[in-house]
Chain A
Amino acid sequence: MASPARLTRATPARHLLRSTFRPQTPKTRPYHSYETPQPSPYPPTESAILSSALSHVPNHGFTTESLRLGARDAGYLDASTNLFPRGAFDLVQYHLVTRRLALKDAVQFPEKLGVGAKVRCLALERLRANREVIHRWQEALALMAQPTYIPASIAELARLADEIWFLAGDTSVDTSWYTKRASLSAVYSAAEVFMTQDQSSDFKDTERFLDSRLEDLKAVGTAVGSVGEWVEFTGHSFVNLARSKGVRI
């Protein structure tokens, strides 16, 4: 008499167990996959207004005026720009984010290209993406330099440097992970400022500027490496000398 009762009590528990092990298909996956497309960082309403606002930037700059015109183009009202509490900076950030995400589809590498050459290629491509708005870019830099927006701007720069090193196929997992990203951030932001003043055709000067900065980086990297080698060698010799004199090390 007792066993059927126990059985019926056991069944729901088994059901529960099975359901927990059944593969689930959640909307957002907890893992990253290169194959699955990443969701857009902006909701559809915001990206509709911001992308049409971006087309007004060459004429009206990174201003709330561009935002208003963009909202009108997208079928919204002037009042709808209240969706963007940070005003023009939201427009700048949208430009930064979308250009960064577009980078991975913008560059095709030939076989047998070193990591350094790939980084140069990617950085140049990202600089070229500013071509349309370069005469207004100083406005964007001024907005990014405002104390309120500095953290967001630095974070975006760091994400760009990370994206470039990642797409270049860098796999370092030591302190150079940090130094690489920091130095590329410095080089890239310097090149961006240089580009706002560039009068040459097709930004030849900016390209040269970027190359020489990357050369500098390589030289510094080599120097740091040589110093390290010298320190190691001298240290070893010193220890050996001490040992030969009878010091027990």
Chain B
Amino acid sequence: MSTFSPAVRRQLLQGARLAARQGPYRCFSSSVRHAEQPATKAPQPEDNPPRTTHFGFETVSESLKESRVGAVFSSVASSYDTMNDLMSLGIHRLWKDHFVRSLNPGTNPLTSSTSAPAQGWNILDIAGGTGDIAFRMLDHASNIHNDYMTRVTVADINSDMLAEGRKRSLGTSYAKGDRLKFVEANAEKLDMIPSNSVDLYTVAFGIRNFTNKDTALREAFRVLKPGGVFACLEFSKVNNGLFNEVYKRWSFGAIPLIGQLVAGDRASYQYLVESIEKFPSQEEFRDMIKDAGFVVPGKGWEDLTGGIAAIHKGVKPVERA
């Protein structure tokens, strides 16, 4: 040590101090590695939690996930749209438009046969608090099919997201009519929705946050009419290796950073990208839909933007007498 000059010694000391402070030090390039490390601060309320699920990369007890997801969405509700635009570079709007167009909701009362009285579709939009999908579906039914009977029930577990949706609905023509309804509900227990009553069940970027996806799928099967359609727009797995690398860099590096800068909330957006990573692949989710009793069209899903998102559909089969 004595051979070093005082200046060099000071430098070495500083380096050691920096290394000791490695915890809070997170630069842009190290955030991927940081995200891939298992989080250590997983709260364990009991010594032996009965059943666990994942909250991003953390493992939490099932009873806790709901409240933590709730906290995330309460905190992002107000900046939801701005953040979506920034994170997806505006592509989420195209996905949502395509989702609704491919579902083609609504029946033209003039061209449909007179035997069936025009009642429109009864649509249930789960986890659709901000009304993104609901407004699009009502617009599609009215403008494409001249169907002013189709109605949408927007259900969300989070009252802050519903409040955001109610606020936005004031800017549309549906705020006063009876075609749009907001309900606070858990997708796993839709007691207020009678069985066999829904034509179309949609869930866009929501099912990822459910504690029990299988229970929610079975509940969807229950409320749908025979022949009714389950449709889900959700983040999925990118199928091109090279593109996947770029995408992972973007999602783990840039998205939490944008969240921090724009919404002032890094943790929520860290959860967002981790929950995307944890969501099952296209094939696995297709099989979950099949297991719930649905018939899937073709291979069962449609990839969007190379598999960043995917549309899954299932039809509840009609039982033959």
Q: Which A residues have a C-beta under 8 Å from some C-beta of B?
A: 43, 45-46, 64-65, 68-69, 71-72, 74-85
Contacts and interface: CB of A to CB of B under 8 A. Distances in A.
B229 A79 contact: yes
B297 A79 contact: no
A80 B318 CA distance: 10
Given A45-B295, A68-B112, A69-B113, A82 B229 contact: yes
B105 A79 contact: yes
Nearest to B296: A83
Nearest to A74: B318
Given A64-B104, A77-B199, A83 B295 contact: yes
Contacts of B295: 43, 45, 83
B43 interface: no
B231 interface: yes
A45 B112 contact: no
Contacts of B113: 69, 72
B89 interface: no
A82 B103 contact: yes
Contacts of A79: 103, 105, 121, 199-200, 227-229
Given A68-B112, A80-B229, A75 B199 contact: no
Given A82-B297, A83-B315, A75 B112 contact: no
Contacts of A64: 104
Contact of B302 (A78, A80, A85): A85
B102 interface: yes
A68 B107 contact: yes
A185 B229 CA distance: 39
A76 B104 CA distance: 16
B226 interface: yes
Contacts, number: 63
A71 B231 contact: no
A204 B199 CA distance: 49
Contacts of A82: 102-104, 229, 231, 297, 313, 315
B194 interface: no
A75 B227 contact: yes
User: Number of contact residues on B: which range applies?
Assistant: 20 to 34
A78 B106 CA distance: 8
Given A45-B315, A45-B317, A71-B227, A78 B107 contact: yes
B116 interface: yes
Nearest to B120: A78
A71 B318 CA distance: 11
B228 A77 contact: yes
A contact patch SS = helix
Of A43, A64, A77, chain B has the most CB atoms within 10 Å of the CB of: A77
Contacts of B107: 68, 78
B305 interface: no
14 contacts: A75-B226, A75-B318, A76-B226, A76-B227, A77-B226, A78-B199, A80-B227, A80-B229, A80-B315, A82-B103, A82-B229, A83-B315, A85-B302, A85-B313
B3 to A, nearest CB: 70
Of A43, A82, A83, A85, chain B has the most CB atoms within 10 Å of the CB of: A82
B120 to A, nearest CB: 10
A53 to B, nearest CB: 13
Contacts of B317: 45
Contacts of A83: 295, 297, 313, 315
Nearest to B106: A78
Nearest to A87: B104
Contacts of B104: 64, 81-82
A45 B319 CA distance: 10
Given A79-B121, A85-B298, 15 more contacts: A46-B297, A64-B104, A68-B112, A75-B226, A75-B318, A77-B226, A77-B227, A78-B121, A79-B103, A79-B227, A81-B104, A82-B103, A82-B104, A82-B229, A83-B295
A232 to B, nearest CB: 52
Contact of B102 (A45, A69, A85): A85
Contacts of A75: 226-227, 318
Contact of A65 (B103, B111, B116): B111
B140 interface: no
Of B103, B105, B302, B315, chain A has the most CB atoms within 10 Å of the CB of: B315
Nearest to B121: A79
Contacts of B111: 65
Interface in B270-321: 295, 297-298, 302, 313, 315, 317-318
A175 to B, nearest CB: 36
Interface string B114-125: 001000010000
Contacts of A72: 113, 116
